[in-house]
Structure 1
Amino acid sequence: MITAANAYICVCTYRRPGPLAELLASLRAQDLGASGPPGDSGQSTGAAQLPQLIVVDNSPEGDAEAQVRGRYPSAHYIHEPRPGIAAARNAAVQAVPTDAEAVLFLDDDERAAPDWLRTMIDCANESGADTVSGPVITHFGEDPPAWLQSSGFIRRIDFPTGPWGLRAATNNVLVRAHWFTRLGFRFDEAFSFIGGEDSDLFGRMQAAGARSWWCAEAQVEEDLPAERLSPAWMRQRGIRAGHVRATKLIRRAQLEHPTPALRLRIAAEGVVRLGYGATRTAARRLKRAPVRYVDSVYHREGWGMLQAAAGRRYEEYGR
């Protein structure tokens, strides 16, 4: 049975002291309720009653150590100087005790609702699912641009609580610990600089039989940075998705680098996606309808795959 005492929250951070402070405060404010230690109401902020927390600092200098130790003394702080998000996540997973029952992932720029951990644990215990995902409520500031609202870029989060056929992500998820401690699953560090390491991991878990669940009540919040409120950033995000897709094909072939035949396959899929995206975009324009992100993303993914097939690298998390 999962409880707050055997569930470990993993957070990877890189030079985000402001958002990290808000996340730590939200974790200190968790109402553990019946999921907390025996005899504890969950309302105390003493270290013994706080959720189990592992923080991996991926900055070269270990910038977050003083902040984490000061604001969350019971946290297990780890400095992982090897750059890359997958390397940081693996350092967190490696620190999870062998007797853990659950591992939860949050991003360092999120804030968890006061009942988030208790709700995730209750949902996992009731469902028996291998992964439980919850919604991330994104705030776009006081006056978000109209094109953003109609773009279709915002990820759907209105699923009902219950079985879920989509792929989990590390921005709000609980995973049964045995997938890491006994079965040995890890994030593939080939994705360290491009991202998509969580999509790859959960795809492999689903292929191995993992059962996924959605918990609509387990909410976290995030603020979208101003620099991401632009069509240019979204275009780059689509191109990145193409590089991620190409990397998945390479890794599924158990290769470090693609063979000429695999490069041709990646390029062929890129051309198909490019053509499909161009067709969808043209159809929207002929109807005098706005082109949505979901229409144009195929075009951008195709372009990213062609770049990957040509040997170009994309490093969103490069240093």
Structure 2
Amino acid sequence: MNPISTDGTVSIVARSPDLDTEAVEVVVTVPTFRRPDQVLTTLASIRNQKTARRFAIVLIENDAEGLAGARAATPLFERGDLPGLLIVAHQRGNCSAYNAGWRTALAEFPRFRYIAVIDDDEIADHDWLEQLCGAAERLDAAIVGGPQVPVFPDAASEKWATHPVFAPPYRESGPVKALYSSGNLLMSREVLTRMEQPFLDLRFNFMGGGDSDFLSRAAEAGFRLAWCDEAKLRETIPARRLEADWVQARGLRNGVISTLVEKKKRAGSPFGAARVVAKSLLLLAASPVRGLARLLKTGSPAIALYPIHVALGRVLAEFGYANEQYRQPEKN
């Protein structure tokens, strides 16, 4: 596997023949890390999109040593089964992969209107891309998010569907004030040309939350956000993510991310840091009551514990705690 070109951090290792980069309207970026079988399923769902829009794929391999995803997908690009590029992002980490893909899209496709994101454990409905683009145009939104519908390993696990870790933040399409995940996302080209690089803050590389921080900053910059409930992706949930310690760690991590994102947002404002601490302490004090209310409503101890874990994570972040769940991928 010999690179076509490289800038030291990104190598292009495959390009579909006769790729008309000038005609591409939508670029779909797909980061992948050690999921060769799953990423092929993801790519097949993109290839089968029902849309008249010209789109291309940028597949971002983030395991520069193993290259399992790249080796699995290279023939698809070289034969022209998939339109687009396959690149290797040599710097490991969630944020590094996204940044590499978005920079490559800007460099290689000079006229694209939108850039979409789907992860390598997700499968797109056949109208996913058209739904996202249509929502952006209908709602005059620069950034549109959609639901990541969890697919659990068995019927007994479906009780987790309403847990905040797995449930989508919205249930209806329309303008929203905040988006939190890049796992199902569409952005206009202007978002990337106006936002400062690196797009995702590398401090979140192995924790996650770089997307939440980026979307928060984009909203602060004046970009309109929207939700498209019809643009569904189906996310495979491994059994590991249903274990109590993983769910607890994710709640703590979400609390840490909340504090870090809010600190950046309030940086430079009078008493900004103190206000973040005060909010965290108030949330911690209120969390047992909020947890009890959730327990009475849902009957689920796991759902009841979630606001307590988030509040603890917010406070622990003040002492430098960082739960880097992506640092050891085999445990994630």
TM-score bracket, shorter-length normalisation? 0.7 to 0.9
Within the candidate set 43, 53, 64, 2:69 is matched to: 64
TM-score by length of 2: 0.78
**2:105 partner SS:** coil
- Consecutive unaligned residues in structure 1, runs of 5 or more: 37-50, 256-260
**Superposed counterparts of 1:243-258, under 5 Å:** 243-252=256-265
Structure 1, 155-164 or 287-296: larger mean CA deviation:
287-296
SS at 1:35 equivalent:
coil
Change (3 A) 1:147 1:133: closer
Is 1:228 the equivalent of 2:241? yes
Of 255, 259, 272, the match for 2:282: 272
Quick one: distance in 1 between partners of 2:297 and 2:112? 55
Q: Specify the alignment match of 1:45 in structure 2.
A: none
CA contact (8 A) 1:169 1:198 kept: yes
Q: In structure 2, do the counterparts of structure 1 residues 312 and 137 end up closer, same or farther at CA, with 3 Å as the change threshold?
A: closer
1:160–1:308 distance in 2 versus 1, CA, 3 Å: closer
Does structure 1 retain, via aligned residues, the 8 Å contact 2:77–2:85?
A: no
1:15 to 2:34 alignment: yes
Cα pair 1:24 1:72 within 8 Å, conserved:
no
Superposition CA RMSD, Å = 2.8
Determine if contact 2:145/2:186 at 8 Å carries over to the other structure.
yes
Quote the residue 1:46 is aligned against: none
Q: Distance in 2 between matches of 1:137 and 1:288?
A: 22
1:76-99: CA deviation from partner (whole Å, max 9, x where unpaired): 122112121111111111111343
2: CA distance, partners of 1:77 / 1:211: 31
Deviation at 1:126, TM superposition (A): 3.0
Q: CA deviation at 1:30?
A: 1.7
Which 10-residue stretch deviates more, 227-236 or 123-132?
123-132
1:236-315 equivalence runs, <5 A: 236-252=249-265, 262=273, 268-282=278-292, 290-291=299-300, 295-315=304-324
Q: Say whether residues 1:26 and 2:45 are aligned partners.
A: yes
**1:140 and 1:232, CA in 2 relative to 1: closer, same or farther beyond 3 A?**
same
Aligned residues: 295
Q: Once the 2 structures are TM-superposed, how far is the Cα of residue 307 of structure 1 from its aligned partner? A: 2.7
Against the structure 1 CA distance between its residues 144 and 166, is the aligned structure 2 distance closer, same or farther, given a 3 Å change threshold? Answer: farther
Residue 16 of structure 2: aligned partner = none
Output the CA distance in 1 between the equivalents of 2:162 and 2:233: 23
Measured in 2, the distance between the counterparts of 1:21 and 1:70 equals 11
Name which of 148, 156, 163 aligns with 1:136.
148
**Equivalent position amino acid for 1:306 in 2:** V
Would the aligned equivalents of 2:151 and 2:237 in 1 still touch at CA under 8 Å?
A: yes
Could you say what secondary structure the match of 2:155 adopts?
A: coil
State whether structure 2 residue 200 is matched by structure 1 residue 187.
yes
Cα deviation for residue 280 of structure 1 reads: 2.4
1-structure distance, mates of 2:175, 2:292:
36
Gap change, CA 1:127 and 1:89, over 3 Å in 2:
same
Could you list the runs of 5+ residues in structure 2 that have no partner in the other structure?
A: 1-21
